[in-house]
Amino acid sequence: MSKTRALREALNGPAIARIMGAHGALSAKLGEEAGFEAIWASGLEISAARAIPDANILSMAECLEAAAEIAGAVGIPVLADCDSGFGGVGNVVHMIRSYEARGMAGVCIEDKMFPKMNSFVEGNQDLAPLGDFAAKITAAKEARTDPDFVVVARIEALIAGAGMEEALRRAAVYERAGADALLIHSKQSAPDEVFAFRESYRGALPVIVVPTTYPQVTADELTTRGFGGVIYANQGLRASISAMRDVLAQIGGAGSTYGVEGSIAALKDVFALQRVDELLALQQRHDRLTATYAAPLD
């Protein structure tokens, strides 16, 4: 099955699609290894891994390069976070063509103004005009070549304080514009408002949530309530920051690495993730062929 179809089916299937955030090939491989159905090429993770704010400072090309690295490293579908589409409708069409060509299973665009600011940062969270954003969704759908390629419309009305009615109004219009799925974002500390959205939304699209600020909600409960996808957008990145900080401090304090050896990944684990075995097999075969071709002809 193609990755585009796999993502589409995961979002529309009876169990929720569990999607793990990543910022590069290594974190994506760990997400795949842990059994998630898909990878989220997260704008926050990709920018944070470069110590840059998640505010459209990185160019589309830089985000695409990171997402393509991820897509090339895993066998599961990748849903790419494309912020607010990197500009006007021409940027959106260029974005769709570029992301589809580089192996993404789908993209997500959010209804905020360019440049966007991460949804959890206090600051400008102004919504894009509904008509303009919906028309970009239609343009995105028309620009893709694979009919299974997934275009997710992300609703930021609750983040921007525009209210539930506005969120639902946008959901209906984005569905009419051709979106394949909706992402309803919330920064509340409880899942109540995304539950309320799911109950009131009467359309047919799968609804995705990002429970960063309401971590108590379980995938089972989200499935029961009818959600199509859950994105764990940044926990991998945050785990790596904590783990690295902790280990580096221990090494600095102890003046040796002896105390941390037991708690950090073994080099053979690193080599396995790098697929060193494959390289060694390739080299052995190359050596055999080299000897064969170098031998004098009879």
Mark residues 90-129: x for contact with ligand SPV by CB under 6 A, - for none: ----------------------------xx----------
Catalytic residue among 54, 111, 148, 180: 54
Q: Which is nearer to ligand SPV, 140 or 274 (CB)?
A: 140
- Cβ of residue 116: shortest distance to ligand SPV, in angstroms? 9
Host H or E run for residue 223: helix 219-224
Per DSSP bridges, beta strands 106-110 and 229-232 are unpaired
How far apart CA 10 and CA 19 sit, in angstroms, is: 10
Nearest CA-CA partner of 41 in 242, 269, 237, 209 = 237
> Which residues inside 191-230 make contact with ligand SPV, applying CB under 6 A?
210, 212
Containing 165, the helix (H) or strand (E) segment is helix 164-177
Helix, strand, coil shares of the chain, percent, nearest 5, are 50, 15, 40
Nearer to ligand SPV, 43 or 206 (CB): 43
Amino acid identity of 111?
D
Compute the distance between CA of residue 230 and CA of residue 159 in angstroms, rounded to an integer: 17
* Smallest separation, CB 262 to ligand SPV (Å): 32
By rule CB under 5 A, what count of residues binds Mg ion? 2
Give which of 233, 130, 110, 107 is closest to 180, Cα–Cα: 107
* Contacting residues for 133 by C-beta, under 8 A, at least 6 apart: 109, 111, 153, 170, 174
Among 21, 31, 43, 211, which residue sits at the site for Mg ion (rule: CB under 5 A)? 43
User: Would you count residue 81 as binding Mg ion (CB under 5 A)?
Assistant: yes
Q: CB count, 10 Å around CB of 160?
A: 18
Cβ at position 282, least distance to Mg ion in Å:
37
Whose Cβ is closer to ligand SPV: residue 147's or residue 161's? 161
Is residue 85 a contact residue for Mg ion (CB under 5 A)? no
Query: Two tokens at 61?
Result: 């090309």
Options 81, 100, 111, 180; binder of ligand SPV; rule CB under 6 A = 81
Residue 54 annotated as catalytic: yes
Closer by beta carbon to ligand SPV, 98 or else 119: 119
Q: Is 141 in contact with 133 (CB distance < 8 Å)?
A: no
Site for Mg ion in 215-274 (CB under 5 A): none
Question: Per CB under 6 A, does 85 bind ligand SPV?
Answer: no
The residues that touch Mg ion, with contacts defined as CB under 5 A, are 43, 81
The residues that touch ligand SPV, with contacts defined as CB under 6 A, are 21, 42-44, 54, 81, 118-119, 210, 212, 233-234
